[in-house]
Amino acid sequence: MAALSLALLLLVTVLASSILDQVIPRISLPLIQIALGVVVGMLASERITITLNPELFLVLFIAPLLFHEAREADNLSLWKNRESMLSYAIGLVVAITLVVGFVVNQLIPSIPLAAAFALGAALGPTDPIAVASISQQADIPKRQAVILKGESLLNDASGIVSFQFAIAAVVSGSFSVALAVREFVIEFFGALLAGIVLGFLLVKFIDRVRALGLENTTFHVSLELVTPFLAYLLGEGIGVSGVILVVACGITMSMVPRDFGPSMARMSIVSSSVWEVITFALNGIVFVLLGTQLPQAFGGLWANEGISNFHLIAFVLAITLLMHGMRFVWSLVSDAVNFKKQSRKAGVAERLRSAAITTLSGSKGAITLAIMLSIPLMINSGTSLSEFPQRDLLIFLACGVILTSLLLATFIVPLLAPRRKEDPTELRMRDSIAKAEVLRRVVEELTARRNDDNSAAIGKVIRKYNDRIARVTDSEDIADESDIDLRIMVLDWEQEYVLDLIDRDEVPPIEGYQYVSRVAHIESMLKQDERRKIAVIGNFRRFKVLVRKMWARFLRKLPGKDPTLDPSTRALRDIQVKAALHVIERLEDKMTELDAPSEKVSNLIIEYHDTVRLLRGTGPSMTNIARKAEIDLDAARLGLRIELEQIQIAYEEKRLSRAAAKHMRENVYLMQVDLEDYV
């Protein structure tokens, strides 16, 4: 019952923190959760013993959170900044380990050098959860945000491995640099390779299950949730970093190309909802648990008369200043190299601001505390067991640095990189314009893929996209361009083409000039700028053709009547079909070149296709009806697939915000699911 009571208490605390976060937005959510955790630790300690098993903590909390962060990461940006990211994740962690270790040993001689190295190694990694929270409070530049995220995903391994070697040196009394380097290479790069292989195999396994027709959303999402735990335990089992293996597996699963169909759309919808709840709960519990450990870490040492509280605070501030100072210098050098590669000149103020943002945003968190709590209580000193030297002091120093770094990040980073208060109306307008452009690109792509077999089906899909474009533009009152000029141009094409046919004796001149006269009359009406007549003219043309077709069918049933024997009627019909096909061909060839919205061009193409289909129409058969339904379904699938591609392109080109892109993707997934359920 104690474990159940603790779990419920933690969840209630996380819920309370989400409410307080809205009441006091100036304080970051992790700090609020840590403060609530301190209260929980002090109040619940009498009834519930709250202990934190570091190994269990990493596998239960850090592994799934890192896996989700890796799957959601911008892989293209991570790859572009890989050199800087790896320099922070490996080089800076090793540098902090060595420098902090030597300085702490000099400041506090009672802490052995190897134990001081262990403290430096634990302080090397940045916390991905804290970094993500800070990114929400400040407008961190793109490059710095990518480096911080990538660093927090990868530097855990370098910190943990360095820490393990330092602890081994304390326990055994010896240390081998060559052995340490070899083990680090094996653990880090071995985990990368194993994670890539595991991620690739899992994707192929899921695709194979789908190919066998075993499409079960619950199975897919459950496998996704179990993956980070399996990956971590696999890493520990084969002797490599479980943390890095989880990250590599998550990134690989997000990068491997996969056939995206309705079943995967359904899985994505459920998966997003499940992960949203899980990450919210786990993120909160991590920092609440961190808060529960602080009273234990501070309590005994704070009351110890052997060392003054003033010295304790001074040590914490000195280590924090040293660690941030090293990070600041590292950031200056990294930025200088990046500016040189880009042949870009930056002023001193810009360089200092950029380095300061990168420095202060790399705060420490629960991972550092979990590493420090894994310090053994006792060590074998040869003939007997003895206490680990200054274990409580080391944990106290780590907790102090964690709190100090979080405070600096929470209150100073937003001053260095204030979040621009963008007008919600402007943001919504920009996203609406981008959405309309995405849908227009889909229309253009669908138009390019039309052929004689799928013309009607593609036309139906294009109409739906044009309706969606109209809804988007109407909702934000986006100016709608008139298509009068486009229609006049098309009518000119018709007249020129029919006159050319007359000159080449390919159509009867009387009927040819009659058709040209009819088109010229329509054009003269449009040139009078009577905008309301545009829709009337188009509808009237379609209605007239339909009436003629129905009248022809009626006459065929009368004895002795067959309108197909009328040469003039047949000639006019043939001329209209030829002119329409000519216009369709030219519009499709010049669609991207014309100075007109894609939906206007596509609507015109559809009108002419409808005219041709009505004039050539034949009675439907059961075979044609079944085949038509299949073609309609394929066209709808094609449109949704193209839309997903265009959404991704717009997001990568920064024309569409992340929130808008996510919303559009979810809508496409729902439409895919609805399409297959309807079938």
In a domain, 303, yes or no: yes
In a domain, 11, yes or no: no
Pick the last residue of a domain from 385, 416, 447.
416
CA 179 vs. chain centroid, Å, equals 40
In a domain, 13, yes or no: no
Angle at 81 between CA 359 and CA 139, to 5 degrees: 50
pLDDT exceeds 70 at position 112? yes
Alpha helices per DSSP H over 303-378:
309-341, 348-361, 366-373
Cβ neighbourhood burial of 123 (10 Å; 0-12, 13-18, 19+): buried
Whether 432 and 527 map to the same domain: the answer is yes
pLDDT exceeds 50 at position 619? no
Pick the last residue of a domain from 378, 397, 416.
416
Whether 373 and 433 map to the same domain: the answer is no
Whether 329 and 429 map to the same domain: the answer is no
pLDDT tens string 192-224? 899 999 998 988 888 787 777 666 677 878 888
Task: Identify the CA nearest to 229 among candidates 251, 248, 246, 216.
Answer: 246
Task: Identify the CA nearest to 159 among candidates 102, 121, 115.
Answer: 121
Alpha-carbon span 218 to 273, nearest angstrom = 13
Whether 362 and 454 map to the same domain: the answer is no
Pick the last residue of a domain from 382, 398, 416.
416
106-120, 128-142, 436-450: the lowest-pLDDT one:
128-142
pLDDT exceeds 50 at position 449? yes
pLDDT exceeds 50 at position 142? yes
pLDDT at 565: 47
Tell me the three-class secondary structure of 623-677, residue by residue. Answer: HHHHHHHHHHHHHHHHHHHHHHHHHHHHHHCCCCCHHHHHHHHHHHHHHHHHHHH
Name the token pair of 479. Answer: 């100016």
In a domain, 29, yes or no: no
Q: Is residue 523 within 8 Å of residue 492, measured between CB atoms?
A: yes
Q: Is residue 404 within 8 Å of residue 394, measured between CB atoms?
A: no
pLDDT tens string 33-92? 888 888 887 776 555 555 556 677 778 877 887 788 777 776 667 777 778 888 888 888
pLDDT tens string 509-564? 877 777 778 777 776 766 665 444 444 555 555 555 555 555 555 555 544 444 44
Whether 186 and 218 map to the same domain: the answer is yes
Whether 99 and 219 map to the same domain: the answer is yes
CA 162 vs. chain centroid, Å, equals 32
Q: What percent of the chain has pLDDT over 70?
A: 73
- List, as own/partner pairs, every contact residues 177-184 make where C-beta atoms lie below 8 angstroms and the sequence separation is at least 24, other chains included: 184/158
Residue 402 sits in a domain whose CATH number is 1.20.1530.20
- List, as own/partner pairs, every contact residues 449-457 make where C-beta atoms lie below 8 angstroms and the sequence separation is at least 24, other chains included: 449/638, 450/588, 453/631, 454/631, 454/634, 454/635, 455/609, 455/613, 456/609, 456/613, 456/628, 456/631, 457/628, 457/631, 457/632, 457/634, 457/635, 457/636
Calculate mean pLDDT across residues 474-480.
Answer: 62
User: What is the chain's Cα-based Rg?
Assistant: 34
In a domain, 19, yes or no: no
Task: Identify the CA nearest to 298 among candidates 212, 215, 379, 403.
Answer: 403
Whether 572 and 604 map to the same domain: the answer is yes
Whether 234 and 361 map to the same domain: the answer is yes
In a domain, 1, yes or no: no
Alpha-carbon span 265 to 254, nearest angstrom = 15
Whether 103 and 163 map to the same domain: the answer is yes
Name the token pair of 451. Answer: 């052929």
Name the token pair of 155. Answer: 């530097």
Residue 383 pLDDT grade (very low, low, confident, very high; cuts 50, 70, 90): low
- Kindly give, in sequence order, each residue whose CB lies less than 8 Å from that of residue 420, ignoring residues fewer than 6 positions away: 139
Tell me the three-class secondary structure of 587-623, residue by residue. Answer: HHHCCCCCCCCHHHHHHHHHHHHHHHHHHHCCCCCHH
Whether 92 and 129 map to the same domain: the answer is yes
In a domain, 18, yes or no: no
Alpha-carbon span 470 to 97, nearest angstrom = 59
pLDDT exceeds 80 at position 172? no
**Alpha carbons within 13 A on the beta-carbon side of 311:** 11
Task: Give the structural domain span for 306.
Answer: 53-416
Whether 297 and 271 map to the same domain: the answer is yes
Whether 593 and 671 map to the same domain: the answer is yes
Amino acid at position 26, single letter: R
Q: Is residue 470 within 8 Å of residue 599, measured between CB atoms?
A: yes
In a domain, 171, yes or no: yes
CA 632 vs. chain centroid, Å, equals 31
Strand partners, 378: 387
Query: pTM of this prediction?
Result: 0.61
Q: Structurally, how many domains does the chain consist of?
A: 2
